[in-house]
Every structure is written in structure tokens, then in C-alpha cells.
Structure 1
Amino acid sequence: MSNVSNKPLRLDRYLASVTDYSRSDAKKLIKAGEITVDGLVVRDPAQGVAADAELALSGHSLRAASSRYIMLNKPQGYICAARDRRHQTVLDLMDEDNPERLHVAGRLDIDTTGLVLLTDDGNWSHAVTSPQRKCWKRYYVETAEVINEQAQLHFSRGVFLKDDKARTLPAELDILGERVARLKICEGRYHQVKRMFGAEGNLVTRLHREAIGDIVLDADLAEGEYRYLTAAEVASVQK
């Protein structure tokens, strides 16, 4: 997959997307005659560039980088953000070029562990996070109090959370023990799982995301480790 669509892009934007140069630096290189398109020097940063055009910088061929799709086993204590003044972020766990271009497709709280997906493909990310696409997220949950069996019915109907105007979408609760369950939801409201159990008068003491759609957290990944998704895993999320 490519970051460049079939629609022509401005030359300066294309150059910034396939190199570490900023848009302003890309413009300077173009105006200086350092860039060729299909073998011809182009000095206009606004010129349109086709997806299959042959670009070169100082004689070196340039290609649009493939989109990245990554799974990370998130430990506690890290937040799902690009940067934060007080806490480490999931990007601090990664050794990647241009990490600032990656974003989290479905965030987890600082004390929640498990599967986090990161990508620079906005359409794919939207398919993961949009409630309308019903990409189910599966969580392992431990609670302070015994889980009431009525919670299964309540969750399947949707519950009203404090300060929210609409019920949650139907969710699936599988009670594994007195204080242990698995929950599947297709939304990502603020602290949703904790608030759903809170609406039942219960407190979540441990929360771990096991799967997103058909993508299951790799058992071989230790906390803090990550790997690229397989082609089949990427394709399991329909854009």
C-alpha cells in the first residue's frame, strides 16, 4: 500500500512524504533544481505528481514509503499519545524512522495493558476506530466486586454512562469467574469499560486488551515489544 493516492499530489508534499525533509525544505530543493520528475528537472513546488511518477533527488530515485501497520504490547505507565510532558508514551517504546507520523488506532488508558495498533494509514485507522464499522475490541477484565449476572443483559442492551447522552452500543459480556470476565465492545468512549462496570456499581482492577477485530495480541510479544502486522492481519480490517 502507498501513502500516495491515484490523485496527483503537489510535488513539495510528495517530497516531504518520502523523505525526512519538511515542506519548506522540500520547496527549496525543488526551486534549486535538485528534483527531477520522469527525468526532467521541475522547479515548481506546486506541480502535480502522479503516483507512478519517477522522482529523483540529486540523481537518487525516490519512492513513496509503504504504510506501516504495527501491533504493540502496551505495559502500564505509558500513554497513547505522540508526546506528553509528564508521562512516557507508546512511541518511546519504538525504534522507528519518523515515529511522529504514526498514530494509535484505538487508545488505551495509562494503566490498561495489551494490544495497541499504530499506523500512518488514516483510512485504515478510521476503519478500526469508527463505531459504525463495528470492529470489535475484546478485553480481559478483573473487578473488585462480584460481577452481577444481570450485567450481561444490561451490557447487551446498552447502558447510559454519566454525562453521555446516548446508551453504549450493544456489548457482549462473558463472565469467567466471580470477578473475572471478557467484554467485547465496538466503541471507544472515554474510559468506557471502566465506566460500564462503574454503572453496575463495580470497580475494574485490571484491564487488558486482547484483540481488535481479527487481530489478536501476539503471545510471543513481551510487554513493551512490538512487531509489524502480517498482510493477512492488515487485510482483516476493511478500509
Structure 2
Amino acid sequence: MRLDKYLSQATGISRKEIHRIMHRGEVSLNGSETLNPAQHIEPGVDSVCLNGEPIGAPGPRYLMLYKPEGYVSASDDPSHPTINSLVDIPRNDELHCCGRLDIDATGLILLTDDGKWSHRITSPRHKLPKRYRVETADPIDASAVQAFLDGLKLHGEHKLTKPAELDILSPNEAIVYLTEGRYHQVKRMFAALGNRVTALHREQIGPISLDPALSPGEYRELTVAEIASIKP
């Protein structure tokens, strides 16, 4: 990794400002002053100091966000505000979401820059369950419970959905557990039964639940235990 990239990722300081800092002689590499921002180093092996203070290797970041309605699950969008714009940390554009939510949906979004970790969540091979709270336009027929278990044929697709669990809470409200993530899947499953989803809220991804202390638009870092709960 280039030295200026290492310092920028570890401190949140722009690479342009890192260059200025280095030209002032404030950076040392393995005990010796260095002025070369393009110098390649090995994180975890080489010793980097800024004004005499050791700068640890930049590590991956893991966040949970309470997605509000009206935000798209992307780092950049020309027409709508993005979930990344809600995260006020350096290099927030490098974070990606582990499973998108529709623009009108709310609830738990996991963000990281650790590709291997996010793959454990999004890969169908791991069959990680996601829990959604759903409100519908029409009452939910009791037969929908078995239909979700049997699998549904979605419009424009030939393969049935994988078995899903449906718990009816009231005539127009239910909890849905999915282990796959097709495009607009929850909405399309209810549409296949002649109903329409009016509100969709994700409460849980695998063992990680949305923190009840968070309000829409707020986020926090995941705990060590939460990160480790997503196993390979």
C-alpha cells in the first residue's frame, strides 16, 4: 500500500493534506523521516509515525444504520439522498451495504468496507435469515402461511422462492423471515397472492437486530460480538 493512502485511511486526513504534512517532515517510516508519499509499505510490518505518534494500520469498519424512508441503498445517486450520506465518518463513500432496502422501506442496514464479511451476509449459500415487519393493503389470508412455506412464483421468474416463514400478527400486519434476497422480494411475494405491501421494515439480519436506541437516520458501530456473530 502507498504510504499516503495508508495515512489517509488510518487518520481520515485527505491525501492532499498528507502530502503537505510529509513535506513538513512530520512523518517517519521505520524510525527515519520520509518525504515520499508514493513509497510502498506493508501494513502491520512497517512502523509509521505522525509527529512521533505511531499510526496503526487502518482496519475494516462495521456499522448498523436505521434507514429512514426516502433514502436509496447506495453510496451515490444522482436523484435521491443515499444512506451513505447519513454516515458522518471519513471515507463514507467506501462503505457498502450488506443487503439493500427499497427507497420506501425502513429499518436495519449493515454497512462495511470488509468485502469478505459482507459476502457472508449476502451469499445465498449461507442462508442467513432476515426478519421483516410488513403491513398490507388488504387482510392477509391464513392460506398465505403455507404458500410462503411452499414457495411462490414471482412475476417474470420461473423458479419458486425458497421456503419462507410468515407469522400473521393482525389482519394487515405480519412478520416475514427470508433466507434469500431477490429484487423487491417481499413486495412481489405478497403481490403473487393478490395483496400489496404498504409498509416494509427490516428488524433483523441473521443474529444482528436493529438497536432500539437508534432513531431513523442514526447509526452506531457494531460490537465485537455482533461482528463475530456473522460466521464464515
Under a length normalisation based on structure 2, what TM-score does the superposition of the two structures give?
Answer: 0.85
**Whole-angstrom distance in 2 between the partners of 1:29 and 1:164:** 56
Correspondent of 1:109 among 94, 99, 102: 102
1:162 to 131, 146, 155: 155
1:234 maps onto 2:201 in alignment: no
1: CA distance, partners of 2:150 / 2:40: 54
Q: Once structures 1 and 2 are overlaid, which stretch shifts more, 204-213 or 26-35? A: 26-35
Q: TM-score, normalised by structure 1?
A: 0.83
- Residues 160 and 131 of structure 1: CA distance in aligned 2, closer, same or farther (over 3 Å): same
Q: Distance in 2 between matches of 1:205 and 1:237?
A: 31
**What amino acid maps onto 1:140 in structure 2?**
R
SS in 1 for 2:147: helix
Distance 2:29 2:168 in 1: 60
Contact 1:30–1:45 at 8 Å: present in 2 too?
no
Deviations along 1:122-156, one digit per CA (max 9) or x if unpaired, are 11111111111111110001111121222222221
DSSP 3-state at the match of 2:161: coil
AA aligned to 1:18 is A
| Alpha-carbon contact 2:6-2:58 (below 8 Å) kept | no
Given that 1:144 and 1:203 are in contact with CA atoms closer than 8 Å, whether structure 2 keeps it comes out as yes
151-160 or 69-78: bigger deviation: 151-160
Aligned residues: 230
> Aligned pair 1:100/2:93, yes or no?
yes
Structure 2 counterpart SS, 1:132: helix
Q: CA separation in 1, counterparts of 2:187 and 2:17?
A: 46
Query: Which aligned pairs between 1:41-190 and structure 2 lie closer than 5 A?
Result: 45=38, 47=40, 49-56=42-49, 60-190=53-183
Tell me if the contact between 1:69 and 1:234 (Cα under 8 Å) persists in the aligned partners: yes
Q: How large is the RMSD of aligned CA atoms in angstroms?
A: 2.7
- Give unmatched runs, 5+ long, in structure 1: 1-8
Mapped to 2, the partners of 1:96 and 1:66 lie a distance apart of: 14
8 Å Cα contact 2:73/2:82 also seen in 1: yes
1:126 alignment partner AA: H
How far apart, in 2, do the equivalents of 1:238 and 1:57 lie?
Answer: 36
Residues 45 and 132 of structure 1: CA distance in aligned 2, closer, same or farther (over 3 Å)? same
**Aligned AA for 1:168?**
T
> Counterpart amino acid of 2:100?
R
